[in-house]
């Protein structure tokens, strides 16, 4: 079965650089969630999209922005990177049924900021 695809899998950036993370949801999934997992921590919700519109926003810095495109893939744009942004960034997708959705996670993008 098709899974959530994230690219790149690994990314190394310098401080103050920008990064773009991509997420391709499972086919026919219209909802995408982004989570950040710092070293030894639990995943923290960043932002979500439903039908290409932002549906919820969590603890996402103003330096980050995201969008969902017409083909339902999503991109997380990160600017002015800081050392503390080093983390594993997960994308999850879920299908249309509202209220009883299971989120399926991608393999994550491991970002290292030097």
Partner 1 sequence: AQSVSQHNHHVILSEAASLELGCNYSYGGTVNLFWYVQYPGQHLQLLLKYFSGDPLVKGIKGFEAEFIKSKFSFNLRKPSVQWSDTAEYFCAVNAWGSGNTGKLIFGQGTTLQVKP
25 binds partner 1 (CB under 8 A): no
Binding mask 59-98 for partner 1 (x = CB under 8 A): -------------------------------x-x-x---x
9: left (phi over 0), alpha (psi -120 to 50) or beta: alpha
Size of the site for partner 1 (CB under 8 A): 27
Q: Closest separation between CB of residue 107 and partner 1, Å?
A: 5
Q: Which one of 8, 12, 28, 56 is in contact with partner 1 (CB under 8 A)?
A: 56
Rounded Cα–Cα distance for residues 60 and 77 (Å) = 11
Q: Closest separation between CB of residue 56 and partner 1, Å?
A: 4
CA distances from 91 to 14, 34, 114 (A): 23, 5, 23
Q: Dihedral angle at the C-alpha atoms of 59, 61, 62, 67, nearest 10 degrees?
A: -70
Tokens of 21: 């993370």
Query: Cα 73 from chain centroid?
Result: 10
Options 10-18, 21-29, 45-53, 73-81: segment touching partner 1 (CB under 8 A):
45-53
Tokens of 29: 């999934």
Residues forming the site for partner 1 (CB under 8 A) = 31, 33, 35, 41-45, 48, 50, 55-56, 58, 90, 92, 94, 98-108
């Amino acid at each position: 079965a098709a899974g959530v695809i994230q690219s790149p899998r690994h990314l190394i950036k310098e401080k103050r650089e920008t990064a773009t993370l991509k997420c391709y949801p499972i086919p026919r999934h219209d909802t995408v969630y982004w989570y950040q997992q710092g070293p030894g921590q639990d995943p923290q919700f960043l932002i979500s999209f439903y039908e290409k519109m932002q549906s919820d926003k969590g603890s996402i810095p103003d330096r980050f922005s995201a969008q969902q495109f017409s083909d339902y893939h999503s991109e997380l744009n990160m600017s002015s990177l800081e050392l503390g942004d080093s983390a594993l960034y997960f994308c999850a997708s879920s299908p249309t049924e509202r209220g009883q959705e299971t989120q399926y996670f991608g393999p994550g993008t491991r970002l290292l900021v030097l």
